[in-house]
């Protein structure tokens, strides 16, 4: 199951500091995407797709998949920019907590 954010990028955002966050909330059964502390999009997790315990195996930040595979489902996804900070939390954060992190962390 994929939970994609709505498109938000345009050229006016080039060179700007952005905070992007995604919350997977087991209790609320939803995935919420945030941009600069505000909800960008939200989806309910359908019955049968809820994963109650997430385990991250081999992972790569800002890029995923194998660049040598010739399959569009395994395309390399790059972050074309720089990342100042990365945080992974053990519990789902509330929209207020996401907004507070944005407000206290923005330059």
Reported as type and span, the H/E element at residue 33 is strand 30-35
Tokens matching residue 1: 């199951």
Q: Which tens digit of pLDDT belongs to each residue from 58-73? A: 766 766 555 566 666 6
Q: Which residue has the higher pLDDT, 75 or 29?
A: 29
Residue pair 73/62 in contact by the 8 Å Cβ criterion: no
Position 44 scores a pLDDT of 97
Look at residue 65 in the predicted model and tell me its pLDDT: 56
Token couple for 82? 């720089």
CA distance linking residue 18 with residue 29, whole number of Å:
26
Angle 46-49-53 from CA coordinates, rounded to 5°: 125
Residue with the larger pLDDT of the pair 81 and 75 = 81
Query: Is the confidence at residue 24, as pLDDT, over 60?
Result: yes
* Three-class DSSP category at 105: helix
On the question of pLDDT at 12 being above 90, the answer is yes
Instruction: In whole angstroms, give the CA distance from residue 64 to residue 90.
Output: 22
> Mean of the per-residue pLDDT values for the chain?
86
Give the mean pLDDT of 46-61: 84
What's the longest Cα–Cα distance across the chain? 42
pLDDT reported for residue 83:
82
């Amino acid at each position: 199951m994929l939970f994609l954010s709505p498109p938000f990028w345009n050229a006016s955002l080039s060179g700007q500091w952005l905070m992007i966050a995604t919350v997977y909330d087991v209790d609320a059964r939803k995935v919420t995407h945030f941009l600069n502390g505000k909800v960008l999009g939200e989806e309910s997790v359908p019955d049968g797709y809820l994963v109650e315990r997430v385990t991250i195996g081999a992972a790569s930040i800002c890029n995923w998949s194998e660049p040598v595979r010739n399959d569009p489902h395994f395309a390399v996804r790059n972050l074309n920019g720089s990342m100042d900070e990365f945080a992974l939390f053990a519990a789902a954060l509330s929209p207020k907590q996401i907004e507070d992190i944005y407000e206290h962390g923005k330059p």
